[in-house]
Amino acid sequence: MAYCQWLYKRLKELAGKRLTESEMMDEAAMALWQGLAKGKLGVGLPSEVEWEKTARGIDGRIYPWDDNPDPEYANLTPLLAQRVYPLVDVF
């Protein structure tokens, strides 16, 4: 979390410099730097829910590729790939 705070502070400093430069930039870049300069945009790590959605996708699959373990996509031994494990809801 300390890294995110440092990065946010650094980007906010850079935003002020970028906005005062006479270099032309497109609307998206301008909006990004203005948002950082005004403190409307932040930097942070994804929440647990965001990580989970990214890994499972919007269709709720077990593995990022589908619902079946596949040694082609993960570092699984042949015996491990054949086992079925219960899903864990809470750690």
Q: Cβ atoms within 10 A of the Cβ of 36, count? A: 22
Q: Amino acid identity of 85?
A: Y
CA dist 77 and 69 (Å) reads 10
Residues 6+ apart with CB under 8 A from 20: none
Count Cβ atoms below 10 Å from residue 21 Cβ, excluding itself: 9
pLDDT tens per residue across span 22-71: 678 888 988 888 888 888 887 777 888 888 888 888 887 888 888 887 77
pTM for this predicted structure: 0.44
What is the model's pLDDT at position 78? 59
Task: Parse the chain into domains and list their residue ranges.
Answer: 2-38, 52-82
